[in-house]
Every structure is written in C-alpha cells, then in structure tokens.
C-alpha cells in the first residue's frame, strides 16, 4: 500500500468535507443512494432465521439487486430474468450459497453461488458481493471491477492481482487490504467498508 497516497487522499477529502462522512453533502449522498434502507432490507431479508424457504430468499435477492444503486442497469434485468427462470433445485443452491456466505462457510457459499450464476453467464463481482456489503458493511466489501482495479493500481496494492473471474481467494485478499487501509485513515472515514470504499472511489474519480 502506498501510505503517502492514502494520506494525501484523506487530507484532500477532509478539507473538502470537514467531518468526513458526517458532512451534510456526504449525508445527502448516503440518503440519495438509500444506504440505510438497503441495509435494513438486507438485514431483515437475510437474517439466519429468514433462510427457511429458498423461494423467499431468491425473491429477496432479486428485490435487493433491483433496488441497489451499486448494480448497473445492464445487470439488473439479466439477474431478474435469471432468478425467474431458476428451477427449484437451483433456487435451493443459490439460497444455500448465500446462507453460507453470510452465516457459515464463506468460501463454500461464494463458490456455490458462483458455480450457479456462471451457468447463466452472471458470475459477476457485483452480483456476488452486493448482499454482504449491505448485510455486514463493517466487515464485507463490494467489488466493482473498474473501481477495484483502480484502487489496486493507484494505491499500489502489489500483493493483489485482480481476477475478472470471481474467486473467493481474491475477495478475501481484497477485503484484508481494504481493512488495513481503513484502519490507517482518520476516524471520520472509518464508518464502515461501504463508506470507505466510496471515499476511495471518489479519490480515483478526482484523479481523472
């Protein structure tokens, strides 16, 4: 990690938004993206007790994807069509994968979801990581390909090699790097991983 670049980004952000994510403009941005509403939706829909019926879980997944500003307009209808066409056994596989990802063996769950979505050509980073970032934003990370590649390049995360094909190994390594970076900045930027990745994304946009 290039700590000098991270420190420079932190200082620039706080100069522009005193108080970090408590600044009125940041609070307005959070409201615009319905962050709290999406967190509530995820936490109500994907609590351990909610995993009784696969049908209900995959419908909740479809709802979250359709409402999330993190998912591209291109991917939303494709995911909806995919969910609508799933056989009962596939719904069980997808729901079980998400349960493991959020509440059990993360690697197993990630691979199970990836395997199923790959058959529909939808094994995409955003569609695999959007649930965790809303359900457990202080721990999990959301991976958007262009942003992840930009973070790796700009902040010189030399231990990471981006993989366009989703793997749990990369997810885990990227999450560890993000955790270390977040711990190195001012407390006002340490709200959670979702907010911190937003700060990194805004930093990258300012460089262009």
Note the pLDDT of residue 33.
66
Helix 54-67 to helix 75-85 angle, to the nearest 10 degrees? 170
Note the pLDDT of residue 42.
94
110 and 143 assigned to the same domain: no
90 and 17 assigned to the same domain: no
51 and 116 assigned to the same domain: yes
- Give the domain extent around 147: 3-32+139-207
Among 80, 105, 135, residue at a domain's last position: 135
Number of C-beta neighbours around residue 159 at 10 A: 10
Angle at 60 between CA 41 and CA 58, to 5 degrees: 150
Note the pLDDT of residue 29.
74
71 and 124 assigned to the same domain: yes
pTM score, whole prediction:
0.90
Note the pLDDT of residue 52.
86
| Residue ranges, the chain, pLDDT below 50 | none
């Amino acid at each position: 990690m290039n700590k000098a670049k991270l420190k420079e980004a932190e200082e620039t952000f706080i100069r522009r938004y005193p108080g970090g994510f408590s600044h009125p403009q940041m609070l307005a941005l959070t409201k615009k993206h319905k962050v709290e509403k999406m967190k509530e939706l995820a936490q109500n829909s994907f609590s351990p007790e909610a995993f009784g019926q696969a049908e209900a879980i995959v419908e909740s997944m479809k709802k979250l994807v359709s409402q999330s500003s993190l998912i591209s307009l291109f991917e939303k209808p494709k995911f909806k069509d995919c969910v609508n066409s799933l056989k009962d056994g596939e719904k069980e596989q997808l729901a079980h994968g998400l349960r493991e990802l959020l509440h059990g063996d993360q690697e197993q769950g990630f691979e199970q979801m990836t395997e199923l979505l790959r058959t529909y050509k939808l094994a995409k980073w955003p569609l695999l990581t959007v649930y965790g970032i809303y359900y457990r934003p202080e721990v999990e990370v959301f991976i958007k390909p262009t942003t992840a590649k930009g973070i790796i390049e700009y902040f010189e995360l030399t231990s990471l090699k981006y993989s366009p094909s989703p793997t749990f190994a990369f997810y885990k390594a990227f999450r560890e790097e993000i955790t270390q970076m977040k711990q190195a900045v001012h407390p006002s930027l340490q709200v959670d991983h979702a907010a911190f990745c937003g700060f990194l994304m805004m930093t990258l946009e300012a460089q262009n």
